Structure 1
Amino acid sequence: MFYSLRTKLFLSILFINTLLIATVLWLNSTSFNQNFADYVNKQEARRLQPLLESLAAYNQRNQGWQALQNNPKQWVALINLSYPTLMNDRRRFSPRPPYLERLLLKSEQGELIVGREDPNKRFVWVPITNDASDTLGYIGYQPNERLDAQVDNIFRAQYKEQIRWIAVALLITSAVFAIFISGVIARPLRKVSTALAEMAAGNYHQTITHNSQDELGQLAQDVKQLADTLQENQKSRSQWVTDIAHELRTPIAVLLADIESAQDGIRETNEDWLKSLQWQAERMGRLVNDLNELSGSEVGALQYKKAPVDLKQLMFASLEQYSSRLNESNIKLSMSTKGKNFLAFIDEQRIEQLFSNLMQNTLRYTDSPGQLSLQLLEQDSMLLLTWSDSSPGVAETEFPKLFDRLYRVDSSRNRKTGGSGLGLAIVKNIVHAHQGTVVAKSSELGGVTIELTLPKAIQE
């Protein structure tokens, strides 16, 4: 529990706040002591102002302090002169006579004139100045022997006691807020941690609700999206395995049924029977080959050997070998190009495979007689290839699914044509591995148009 994130956040916030509170209190205490000392000095200087004026006048009359040395009567006379009410009503005068009697007098050079300075006691010195602000000497007094020194000490003690209670209150408040803030931060993280643990256990159905717009909210959304993606991939994988098993089960069942019939003597083992077996075996072989090609196309761009290749020449050379099959299927081919630079940064063998898959798709699913139109043109930093064939067409809702594995459109794509439903999925993987795009839409010829882009090679 001590090593939990919430505990660490709580201790971190509390430590920082404690450090800040201690720093503020230390600065406040230092500032208070200095300001309080200045305040006391100013008050004492105001209290001693009558004596300071009398001493300044005395210094000017006698041209110095010589007459006061070893003359306590004269010193007392100056005090009485400065405070005429002292002898009449001492209760109305705040400084006590002993306090005044313990005052010290120094010359401007620091020579002691009146009194005896105790080195073990602290004295505060107030300057004596004339009208020209020239320093004539200094009056010294002991702060702790002032009449209100005890009051000052009580005030200082009460102030420090209040500061300590304020510090305690701030620490308690800081701890409460630290608990709240650490809980606010740790709560969504606990939800994310729980969701990740569930996902690791195979439960991808997670609902994480955190509506804040900060990084924690973004993290919760990302984990939710990850859970949805994994759940969708799990469904897709399950469907993928089911579809493969179904695709293989049909020809295998036909082969086994034919072989068992021949073994039982029900079916004659003639040439037509052998051709049927061969067709079923070839169909399974094509499916296995397509699965292998799909797996290879999904390895990623790291397995692709890309180089600058003239896409126009590659397209003409790749499709030239299909001219006889197009004639047999009575499909008219037309190719056009627009631009000057058709140098693409591609893997030549993968793009040949792409052309082959698109052509196989057209030969299987285009009615005879039919048309096939190819257009290659420049488009900024990409090359755009448009592959359009004639009827039959595909419903608008089916276009996004044409590139899914093993997907067939019921009206035009069926198992009798021998297609595995993997050709366009391989095309999509090859295009994406080249950082290109591929989409399907309706063709003006009545069939399907495949538009794909491939990156142009950067010319030095």
Structure 2
Amino acid sequence: MRSITIKLLLAFLAVGLIGTVFIALFAWSGTEREFGNLEFERWQEALLEQMAVYYSTSGGWEGVAEDVIRFNPGGGPGMRGWPRMAGPIILLDENGKVIIPGQGFMVGEEVHQQTFNKAIPIEVEGEEVGRLIAGQDALAVSASGEEFLGRVNQVLLLGALGAAGVALLLGIVLARTLTKPLRELTAATQAVAAGDLEQQVPVRSKAELGQLAEAFNQMNDNLARARDIRQQMTADIAHELRTPLSVILAHTEGIKDGVLPDSEETFQIIHDETMRLSTMVEDLRTLSLAETGELGLTLCMVSPDEMLRQAAAAQFPRAKQREITMDLELESRLPDIEVDPDRMAQVLGNLLDNALRYTPIGGQIILRAGSSSRGVTLFVQDNGPGVEPSELSHIFNRFYRVDKSRQRDEGGSGLGLAIAKSIVERHGGQIRAESRPGEGMTFIIELPVT
């Protein structure tokens, strides 16, 4: 984390320094350019003024060229007041004839009207007496000007250093601010690695770091939920295994000690409990494969009507024994569905087993098939005692048993509905239950049509 902070700090500092250097260079260049233009304008104004003074004093332009040429920037002979030359000049009389030559123009030559119009008028007492064309070369900056530019450079240097300092401070603040969520996430991740699944990190924004924090919190919630489910499942399995194992142990010890007779009835009880254990182990294996997506499916096109008929036929002997009526209500011309017929027979068998277990003697079970927006819908409905609506969200959980009439001593591994749900979802379908106390239970399976 320290390396990230240092890299961010160096990045901010580099950006600040580079930006400051460019700004300082542009400011210095612009200041020097504008100051030079200002000096040139002042020189031009002084030159025009001195030209007008010369004309007024001399009564004309005679001798002006010699006087300007004799001018010495150090203060040599010539008229006082002539400014230092900033570049070549061309002096024209009022008719456009050259008095002081330059830039290819000869004395006495008459310039083009366009050139004459661009020249600066020289006026004496409101009357134009000539025109001046002034060029700008390297202007000798005055001592005061050099002092001004020096102060400007000092200010720019101090500003650059100040900006670098501000960039450094901002870089420290921003680097710590940006890396704080990462430091918190690192600490929380280390705590999770040590086994603390209650860790949560604050979500400070909706940007990428905030999304990362939300994803971490969601992952940790899922891990904690998986841990709780695993612990609960372990406890449930131990609880479910305890009863048949206790029965088997009690009967075998009873036979060994001579307390119980080694009769067919005793061996039948041991056999039944052993089969119950075997069924539970196989159901756990099936459920594990289905939930992890490893349950193999052999898909083929199957008629929903035929699938319900076969399921009803398989459970008919049990229904007849309890005097329970099984009715089929099938919609005509239903499309075939692509399923694993053996696995779907297992689903319907589990649902019918549940219905037969809790439907009273002389009751009724209805199997229906119909079309829906999702494809084909299958219904398994009984007129048993039903359950509270609050129980419906739990009935597909492993080993979940509703109180009162749905007790462990009525058989079953407690995994049938969980297996049914996993297999249906493995087919891309959905399963749900609807019930009210005293109104029976209805299981609804929705399967897609390919």
Name the TM-score class by shorter chain: 0.7 to 0.9
1:202-241 Cα distance to aligned partner (Å, 9 max, x none): 2101132334333333332332222222112111101111
Tell me which of 51, 66, 73 is aligned to 1:72: 66
The 2-side partners of 1:425 and 1:141 are apart by 95
Could you say what secondary structure the match of 2:259 adopts?
A: coil
In the alignment, is residue 440 of structure 1 matched against residue 436 of structure 2?
A: no
The 1-side partners of 2:374 and 2:87 are apart by 98
Could you say what secondary structure the match of 2:197 adopts?
A: coil
- Which residue is 1:231 aligned to? 224
Q: Is the 8 A contact 1:107 1:138 kept in 2?
A: no
Tell me how far 1:421 sits from its aligned partner. Answer: 0.7
The total of aligned residue pairs comes to 417
- Which residue is 1:116 aligned to? none
Tell me which of 232, 242, 246 is aligned to 2:235: 242
RMSD: 3.5
Tell me which of 165, 169, 177 is aligned to 2:170: 177
* Of 418-427 and 41-50, the range deviating more from structure 2: 41-50
Tell me which of 324, 334, 350 is aligned to 2:343: 350
- Which residue is 1:145 aligned to? 140
Q: Is the 8 A contact 2:389 2:436 kept in 1?
A: no
Q: Is the 8 A contact 1:309 1:343 kept in 2?
A: yes
- Which residue is 1:222 aligned to? 215
Q: For 1:46-445, what aligned pairs fall within 5 Å after superposition?
A: 46-50=45-49, 72-73=66-67, 99=84, 107=101, 109-110=103-104, 131-133=116-118, 139=134, 143=138, 145=140, 149-300=142-293, 303-338=296-331, 340-442=333-435
Q: Is the 8 A contact 2:381 2:441 kept in 1?
A: yes
Which amino acid in structure 2 is aligned with residue 193 of structure 1?
T
The 1-side partners of 2:258 and 2:41 are apart by 129
Tell me how far 1:379 sits from its aligned partner. Answer: 2.1
Tell me how far 1:166 sits from its aligned partner. Answer: 1.6
- Which residue is 1:120 aligned to? none
TM-score norm. by structure 2 comes to 0.81
Tell me how far 1:393 sits from its aligned partner. Answer: 1.4
- Which residue is 2:95 aligned to? none
Q: Is the 8 A contact 1:68 1:75 kept in 2?
A: no
Tell me how far 1:399 sits from its aligned partner. Answer: 1.2
Q: Is the 8 A contact 1:393 1:447 kept in 2?
A: yes
1:322-342 Cα distance to aligned partner (Å, 9 max, x none): 222222222222232447443
- Which residue is 1:82 aligned to? none
The 2-side partners of 1:48 and 1:215 are apart by 67
Which amino acid in structure 2 is aligned with residue 441 of structure 1?
E
TM-score norm. by structure 1 comes to 0.79
Q: Label 1:399 to 1:30 Cα distance change in 2 as closer, same or farther (>3 A).
A: same
Could you say what secondary structure the match of 1:409 adopts?
A: coil
Could you say what secondary structure the match of 1:186 adopts?
A: helix
- Which residue is 1:80 aligned to? none
Tell me how far 1:245 sits from its aligned partner. Answer: 1.6
- Which residue is 2:35 aligned to? 36
Which amino acid in structure 2 is aligned with residue 133 of structure 1?
K
Q: Label 1:191 to 1:73 Cα distance change in 2 as closer, same or farther (>3 A).
A: closer
Could you say what secondary structure the match of 1:401 adopts?
A: coil
